A and B are shown apart, each in its own frame.
Chain A
Amino acid sequence: MKAFQYATAHSFDSARELVADNGMYLAGGNDTLGLLKEYLVSPNILVNIKSLPGLDKIERGSDSWKIGALVTVAQIENDPQIAKTFPGLQQAAAEVGSQQIRNVASVGGNLAQHSRCWYFRHRDTLCMKKGGDLCYARHGENRYHSLFTGNTCISPVVSNLATAFAALDAKAIVLRDGKETPMTMAKLYQGAWENPQSHNSLKPGDLIVRVEIPTARTSSAFIQMSDKQAFDWALVSCAAAANLSGGKLNSPRVAVGCISPVPWQVEAANQFLDGKELTDDVASQAADMILKGAEPHEHNGYKIPMAHALIRRTLLKLKG
């Protein structure tokens, strides 16, 4: 990696000021370190944000919970109240990386992590995401890639938390130019849908400070499928959330991870599910709607039946 300066910010203003010189924020550092070591980024300065006030708190309100950006993935995994209130979020956190990674990984970092596409991460391929003129994956080894995209790049979002947050209709609060800007998960990743060089909608200097989760949906669930049983990325993941009363779904939301640059949500499917009794057949019809128009490539067609199964199972898991 290239030599860089290192500074610890104690206020949001100084953090923004410091990072302005081609800098990057540093929290858990899992993703940042990998990007630095492979020369995928070469910032002039790393701005440690772990001393910024209030970012490590979980505030449990009646209408919504606020989860600070520095809360670790392990804290979410191990918090019994989160497991009770947002079981889908707890389940998503428990599947992230390894225990060692979860211990230091932050909520903000999990959301802001960059693409895991093996062409992007490879030191000797210049793909579109890195400013090249070709999406190698589209022509080559695309087993881990997207079924949907808004541009040429087919690198998918792999953040488990983003998928779980999407189903819970949570918003990331982004500090942009000194102002708090709420972004749905759809909005947070819209940039990756549109622009092959982005992996989210964050601009230089933007900082995720917390995530706000409405408590409106009392049931939630998350399932991921990987090659390996532990310490492996999801091939496909799915999160669902709703209120269940008398066996009927109320305000349901489903999000699928790893099949699109954004947590994949289909509003028509959410509407279809609303007010329905949760049966195999209903879940299956919703899965059909969510996966309609999927564009498989040479090696990732398996994601369609896999996602179909996960959507059905995650919805049925809402019943507990």
Chain B
Amino acid sequence: MPSWPAETKYISKNTLRIDAPEKVTGRARYSSDIQEKGWLYGMILRSKWPAAKIKSINLDKARQMPGIKAAVLSPAIEERQKNGADLTLRFYGEEIAAVAGTSKSACIDALKAIEVDVEPNDNFVVLEDDAKAPDAPRVWADAPNVGDSKPKETGDVDSAFGECAAVIEGFYTTPVQIHNPMETHGSTTSWTDAGVTCWSSTQGITSVKNGLAGALNLDHDKVRVITDFMGGGFGAKFNPGPHTVMAAKLSQAAKAPVRLMLTRFDQALAVGNRPSSFQKIKMGATADGMLHAFEFDNYGTAGIGGGAATGGGGSGVTLPAPYPTYKVPNTRVKQASVAINAGGATAFRAPAHPPGCYGFESAMDDLAVKLGVDPVEFRIKNAVTEIHKKEFKLGAEKFGWKDKYKKPGSSAGVVKTGVGCASAAWPAGGPNNKTQGEAQINPDGSIEFRLGVQDIGTGSKTVIAIIAADLLGLTPEQITVKVGDTNYPPGPGSGGSTTTASISPTIYDICTKALTQLQTQSGIADARGKNWKAACKKLGVSPLVVHGNWIEGLSTKPAYGVQFAEVDVDTDTGLVTVKKIVAIHDCGLIVNQITTESQINGGIIMGMGYALFEERVMDDLSGVVLNPNFETYKLATMGDIPEIEVTLLNMPERGVIGIGEPATVPTAAAIGNAVANAIGVRVYSLPITPAKVLAALGKVPKANSATT
């Protein structure tokens, strides 16, 4: 069985990103930086209506506009037109067509010149509760808005509540969260006789390649996807999406490369999002502090991707309940997805977990208060795994929980301090066992690794360099790493926190094989370190190319974690200020300490935005997204970010595990619990805005019904 070396020079230490100089000097070229010869701008025409039927559409006028080289219909509209189906639009922002031209302004003008004759449909619905009503307008004509939702039961929940010493009930809600990576979705795509080359901002070069080949009806070997650098992806960048399919078709028609990057406005409408949740929770514990009964009734929306017509699914509507860090013997769980006329859902950093954790961990605190027990002790008692128990104990110690935890609402003064905690369990995070890679070792001792994985910004290239350096006795600077090209051996998509667990064993395999072959070819018994150059020199003229695969025994899953939050709440203004987050996380063998900590910092900041700021706001009268910009779709910025203290538990014996997702799971729940602890009442709804805090405190007068 292979195993990671016990003594390391780089693994589990701090190595700065090997591509940091390129990134900070601007030499790194992202998809939106690609400037192929003769490239054109691409832009998309979107539905202005939440529901409508296109009676006719004509692109000819747009094609004749100055500077415009091509115009195409969206793949869905083209398909429906071909089949003679109704051209139904189901949400504000749905793609209709796209143009390519020599300037942005030419494209904007051309979009306005597209002749679309529509019949707007005023029977639309954009709010979950409205969509649930029996007489609600249907998003999909042939199926109800509410998806199938048979309850799942374990034990005997009804009699179990009777055996409880304390029972709480609450209605915990979370909003739709919009994907806003710093680099928007998009690509530069070039379609020539030789095939399609797509510089895509993607977290899955292989899935984009396959998706694009399928949509364009091309052989897979005719499509190449390149992602040298990318500015973030959190689950919504696995597929080409209509925008990249249209970019390719525009390129074909215009005979020129087309750069089609979405705008921030586009981003808010149609790239997928995290579904909302409306969680009715009833939970009880016995007198000895053990969870005993749990009843859960949740619904949420995945936009047009929800409801019965889509099988009741939608990425992340169905929450993990009870939250898997805890065990409840008697449960009844009912969940439903509700279709509305809005952009569909997709994977979003730890799909279903942040809302699932928020609901359950809020209920945990409410129940601990009702039982009159310490929330941390209550959690340790009910935690499933020993790792969690250990993390809660360690976190409490580092945070100073015993000194800081006071009875809810008991902090003196107008500005009240509160503390809270929550846990994460990320059941994925294991490897993609089909991962491959190769290394080319040159006679001068230089070595290049090539993997068809992509670095979404987490430091995957550096992970490769670190592992290779330690196993070959070299330094990370001596290792050249090439990723982000489908011409390399296939790697995993960067999702599910699987990347590091996939590539690390693959590099191990390549290095082991390389050393064996070098030994054979050079006659030098140990080619590592100081013997490296001499051994490579013996290769003669031809470089050695070694192919490797993911191998068993060096990676595993799952990852866990706990976070503690300390907040100030101004009870006069409702303002919540997060002062400190203490995070304890584990991911097996830590490959690079510094970038792992960065992952956790980023997860906490994202979780904090989810707790306090982020929320897609739909207008029920017009059906539009009201906040498709950073002015009113609020994200945490530097001034909001608290002191963050990260402690990593290094467990080399478990092997490598991913960490990207669990890091963001418990933050909002911990902050919500801290707010409840501060003010003595719960804010049942994310984001926790000043308005909601003041309402929870009973300070907000009723609306004047005459004026609303």
Contact = CB atoms under 8 A, between A and B. Distances in A.
B700 A301 contact: yes
Contacts of A296: 700-704
A125 interface: yes
Contacts of B572: 305-306, 308-309, 313
Interface in A91-144: 116, 118-119, 122, 124-125, 134, 136, 138-144
A298 interface: yes
B695 interface: yes
B621 A139 contact: yes
Interface string A19-63: 000000000000000000000000000000000000000000000
Contact of B619 (A141, A229, A298): A141
A297 B703 contact: yes
Interface stretch (A77-85, A186-194, A230-238, A261-269): A230-238
Interface in A128-173: 134, 136, 138-144
A299 B615 CA distance: 15
Given A122-B624, A228-B613, A228-B640, A306 B573 contact: yes
A310 B707 contact: no
A118 B637 contact: no
B617 A310 contact: no
Interface stretch (B250-258, B626-634, B667-675): B626-634
Nearest to A223: B573
B699 interface: yes
Contacts of B689: 143, 227
Interface residues on A, range: 35 or more
Given A119-B626, A124-B48, A125-B619, A231 B637 contact: yes
A228 B613 CA distance: 8
Main secondary structure of the interface of A (DSSP, over half): loop
Interface of A: 1, 116, 118-119, 122, 124-125, 134, 136, 138-144, 225, 227-233, 235, 295-302, 304-306, 308-310, 313
Nearest to A138: B708
B574 interface: yes
Given A143-B691, A230-B640, A296-B700, 11 more contacts: A116-B631, A119-B622, A136-B622, A228-B613, A229-B639, A230-B637, A231-B639, A297-B707, A305-B574, A306-B573, A306-B574
Nearest to A299: B691
B690 interface: yes
A225 B690 contact: yes
A144 B695 CA distance: 15
B575 interface: yes
B570 to A, nearest CB: 8
Nearest to B641: A229
A39 to B, nearest CB: 9
A146 B225 CA distance: 51
Contacts of B695: 301-302
B620 interface: yes
Contacts of B638: 230
B109 to A, nearest CB: 9
A251 to B, nearest CB: 27
A227 to B, nearest CB: 6
A125 B708 CA distance: 19
B704 A228 contact: no
Contacts of B394: none
